[in-house]
Amino acid sequence: MTSTAGSKSPSLPLVGLKVLDLSRILAGPVCTQILSDLGADVVKIERPGLGDDTRQWGPPFVESTADGAPRPSAYFLSCNRGKRSLALDLSHPAALAVLDDLLRSADVMLENFLPDTVAKLGLTPERLRALNPKLVSCSISGFGRTGPLAGVPGYDLAIQACAGLMSITGEPEGAPMKVGVAMTDVITGLYAAVSVLAGLVGRRDGFDGRAFDVALADCTLASLVNVAQSTLLTGRRPQRFGNAHPQIVPYEAFATADGYLVLACGADRQWVRLCETVDRRAWADDPRFRTNPGRVAHRDELIPLLAALFKERTTAAWETLLKIAEVPHARIAAVDEVVASPQTAAREMVWNVVDDSGRPLKLIGSPIHWPERPPPAPLVPPRLGEHTRAVLHDWLRYDAHRIEQLRREGVVAE
């Protein structure tokens, strides 16, 4: 899919909604990128001269051009497509009046500041309600706006550690491990988007705007689902299972003759088909292995048998065999293989775009699909301050003289 900058299709469900994005890094930008993909006009407020921290989080960066165009990082590109950038110095006293005007005009506001900054900028739920009763606001923080840790900053790695995710990730006898991406931020961005959409539905039905309080730690704990629930049920501390599953066997990665393959027998009927396919019917009839609870109880006896079996064939041979047997499985693919796969292309999950310097870029696309979805545009993440004048005019009806005065005073930048 190829696109350049342009106006968003009027058939997108959130067209006409104004989203003021005061967030930085990842969780907030993930949320607002979803809203942008769905058609909202997302205005990203950034610090003049610096912008979002992730603009410098590389390598890799976009290739340089002869005219010295900015080189955004892959990190920034991943979560800021389709937004407009307004460079506003929130530390400048005159900026607060501009911020208030933006809040009055917005339908949605998202921020991830520490409590003292929230108070300084006048972003408390009570003040936002007074400024704009219809505003749907969402506050993202490490630990939420209540409780003994309310003032503690939240960082993905720290939250993975303190919210339990690292304790259950890694090999049983190895060290705790983090997930390979900033998963707590991504999960929180998704919960934040759900919260915002719920607030918009409520507003449509006649309610005033809602103020949502979304915490990385809460979202991470919620994401532990069956593992956390098992702890509540038994009182026992979960252990690490590496690539295995605490409650399903066999459900893990096995080494083949030339690589690795994931086997996912989530039902007894799948286990029987596997055993019959590999001429091991006796395993399916064995009282120890006949049912999933039995296989879980006797995993230390069963897994070595399966491990030896899988080493007898290549990954490709196992893929063919298991496909015929209708047993869930998957070859472990590298990311470069995934983005180049026919399935990824068919799902339009890589978008080809061209930035305003003429540089071709590939971006990961939106996973939200529906039959009538129009071609996405604009997609290119913004240059710092690229839309300062346009937003001040479109949203606030500031005239050219006032905008220029704000620029001269250092309140805004382009």
- Sheet of 260-264: strand order equals 251-255, 260-264, 329-331
What phi and psi values does residue 264 have, to the nearest 5 degrees?
A: -135, 75
CA–CA dist 406, 384 (Å, integer): 17
User: What fold is seen in the domain 251-336?
Assistant: formyl-coa transferase, domain 3 (3.30.1540)
Residue linked to tokens 């993440």:
381
pLDDT score at 90: 98
What is the C-alpha to C-alpha distance for residues 272 and 278, in angstroms, rounded to an integer? 10
Q: Residue 3: its pLDDT value, please?
A: 41
DSSP 121: T
Active-site residues, by number, are 185
pLDDT confidence of residue 7:
67
The CA distances from residue 245 to 83, 288, 331, 413, in Å, are 40, 18, 17, 52
Q: Which CATH number fits domain 2-223+356-413: 3.30.70.260, 3.40.50.12780, 3.30.2130.10, 3.40.50.10540?
A: 3.40.50.10540
In this structure, are residues 35 and 193 in contact, taking their beta carbons and an 8 Å threshold? yes
3-state secondary structure of 378: coil
The pLDDT, as a whole number, for residue 10 is 84
Full pLDDT tens readout for the chain, 414 residues:
444 444 688 889 999 999 999 999 999 999 999 999 999 999 999 999 999 999 999 999 998 877 777 889 999 999 999 999 999 999 999 999 999 999 999 999 999 999 999 999 999 999 999 999 999 999 999 999 999 999 999 999 999 999 999 999 999 999 999 999 999 999 999 999 999 999 999 998 888 899 999 999 999 999 999 999 999 999 999 999 999 999 999 999 999 999 999 999 999 999 999 999 999 999 999 999 999 999 999 999 999 999 999 999 999 999 999 999 999 999 999 999 999 999 999 999 999 999 888 889 999 999 999 998 887 666 899 999 999 999 999 999 999 999 999 999 999 999
pLDDT at 205: 86
Tabulate helix, strand, coil % of the chain (nearest 5).
Answer: 40, 15, 45
Per-residue pLDDT at 108: 98
User: For residue 356, what pLDDT is reported?
Assistant: 81
**Nearest of 67, 71, 29 to residue 46 by alpha carbon:** 29
Spell out the domain ranges in the chain: 2-223+356-413, 251-336
pTM of the shown model: 0.94
Q: What are phi and psi of 60, to 5 degrees?
A: -85, 155
- The confidence score (pLDDT) of residue 377 equals 67
Angle separating helix axes 183-204 and 27-37, nearest 10 degrees: 50
Q: Tell me phi and psi for residue 213, to 5 degrees.
A: -120, 105
